[in-house]
């Protein structure tokens, strides 16, 4: 009777055993994907990704590396309002021509400068560093109290073409406003971009600087938003 033909023994399971892994996998992927996506989006949209490194082509191939790094011009020779005005100011054509009426008078690269000087029309530079329209940054308030250009603009003295060195986002500003001690230096060294603050200042020096300039950067909204 054992040989009675019957239906072959059928497994209770329609799916093979390995499929047991699928559901947990789906769950894991399903659970992590939004988090992953959030990270991707956050990274992709962060000012750091979007803005740092922005390096537009300028109408005149002016090299900070040459003028500042090699020839040793001071930042303030051109950006002469930086200590007394909110704006550092892009220099007028006149400033270029102070030297270039004598030096490289024929250079093709300087053609737009000469044209501007003759016509009186401005050279249109493309803006590299910018904070939101609702935020008000004041250069003079920073450089007069030991915050160097390099903290926001990077080693401009080494840049052939100026690029954005920092995100200039609110979070980034607040990093320093909450704890400025690592980013200050004597006012005399503010425009010396290559100065090694880490090696030259002791903690005691820094404390003394904070006291000297009564550095207590405000985190109030009204400090930057008006």
Partner 1 sequence: MQTPPTCQSKAETTSASVAPKGKTLWRSVAEFEGTPEFAALVQREFPEGADTASHEERRQFIRVMGASFALAGLAITGCRRWPEQKIAPYASRPATRMPGQAVRYATCVEIDGVGTPILAKSLDGRPIKVDGNGSVAGATGGTSAGVQGTVLDLYDPDRLRVVLHEGHESSVPEFQAFAANEIGRLRGTQGAGLAFLLEPTASPSRVAMRQAIAKSFPKASMHEWTPRHGDAERAGTAAAFGSAKRPFLKLDEAKIVVAFDADVLMDGADAPRVTAAWASTRRVNGEGAAHQELSRLYSFESRLSVTGMNADERVAMRSSEIANVVAEFAKRLGVDGGDLNVRNALAGLGSGAKLDSHAEAVLAAAVKDVQAAKGKCAVVAGPAQPAAVHALVALVNERIGAAGRTVTYAPATGPSSCVDSIAALTAALNAGSIETLVICGANPAYDAPPELAFGDAMAKAKHVVRLAEKLDETGALTSCHWSIPAAHSLECWGDSVAADGTILLQQPLILPLIEPNAGGLSEIELLAMLADEKATTRAGYDVVREVHAKRVASSGSAFEASWRAALESGAMGSSYSTSAPTVNAGAVASMALSHKAATGQGIELVLFTDSKVLAGRWSNNAWLQELPDAVTKVTWDNTLNLAPATAKSMGVRHGSVVTVTVDGRSVDAAVFVLPGHAEGSASLALGYGRGAVAGRIADGAGCDSFSLREGGADLQAATFQPTGRTYPIANTQDKGIAEAIMPEVPLQGIQDRLPTLVREGTLEEYRLHPDFAKHRTHVVHRLSLWEESNLDGAQFRWAMSVDLNTCTGCSACVTACQSENNIPVVGKSMVLRGREMSWIRLDRYFKGSDPSSPVDYRIQPVACQHCENAPCEQVCPVAATVHDKDGLNVMVYNRCIGTRYCSNNCPYKVRRFNFFDYNAKRPEREEGFLKTDLGYYERYYTLNRDEGPDLFRQMQFNPDVTVRSRGVMEKCTFCTQRIQEAKIDFKNRWAQKGGEKAGTANFSIPDGAIVTACQQACPAGAIVFGDLNDANSQVAKLFSQGRSYQMLEELNTKTRLRYLAKVTNPALPREDDPHAGHDHSHDGHDHETHA
Exposure on the CB side of residue 183, measured as CA atoms within 13 A: 21
User: What phi and psi, each to the nearest 5 degrees, are found at residue 165?
Assistant: -100, -20
Residue with the two structure tokens 């020096």: 205
- Smallest separation (angstroms) from partner 1 to the CB of 172: 15
Tokens describing residue 87: 């704006």
61 lies in the binding site for partner 1 (CB under 8 A): no
- Residue of 136, 160, 174, 200 that binds partner 1 (CB under 8 A): 136
CA distance linking residue 138 with residue 12, whole number of Å: 76
Should residue 220 be labelled a site residue for partner 1 when binding is judged by CB under 8 A?
A: yes
- Of 64, 68, 75, 93, the one binding partner 1 by CB under 8 A: 93
> Nearest CA to 47 among 140, 129, 108?
129
Rule CB under 8 A: is residue 81 a binding residue for partner 1?
yes
- Which of 64, 116, 147, 148 binds partner 1 (CB under 8 A)? It is 116
Question: Restricting to residues 28-47, which ones interact with partner 1 according to CB under 8 A?
Answer: 41, 44-45
The whole-angstrom separation of Cα 95 and Cα 186 is: 28
Nearer to partner 1 (CB atom), residue 52 or residue 65: 52
Q: Kindly state whether residue 222 participates in binding partner 1, applying the rule CB under 8 A.
A: yes
């Amino acid at each position: 009777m054992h040989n009675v033909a019957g239906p072959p023994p059928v497994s209770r399971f329609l799916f093979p055993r390995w499929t047991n892994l699928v559901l947990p996998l789906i769950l894991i992927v399903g659970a992590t994907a939004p988090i992953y996506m959030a990270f991707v989006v956050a990274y992709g949209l962060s000012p750091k990704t979007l803005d740092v490194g922005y390096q537009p082509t300028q109408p005149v191939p002016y090299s900070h590396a040459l003028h500042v790094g090699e020839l040793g011009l001071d930042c303030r020779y051109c950006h002469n309002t930086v200590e007394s005005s909110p704006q550092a100011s892009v220099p007028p054509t006149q400033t270029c021509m102070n030297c270039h009426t004598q030096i490289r008078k024929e250079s093709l690269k300087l053609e737009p400068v000469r044209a501007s000087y003759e016509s009186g029309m401005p050279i249109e530079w493309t803006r590299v560093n910018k904070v939101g329209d609702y935020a008000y940054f004041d250069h003079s308030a920073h450089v007069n109290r030991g915050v160097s250009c390099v903290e926001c603009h990077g080693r401009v003295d080494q840049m052939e073409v100026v690029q954005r060195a920092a995100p200039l986002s609110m979070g980034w500003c607040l990093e320093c406003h909450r704890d400025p001690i690592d980013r200050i230096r004597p006012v005399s060294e503010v425009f010396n971009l290559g100065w090694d603050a880490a090696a030259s200042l002791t903690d005691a020096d820094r404390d003394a600087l904070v006291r000297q300039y009564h550095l207590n950067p405000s985190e109030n909204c009204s400090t930057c938003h008006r």
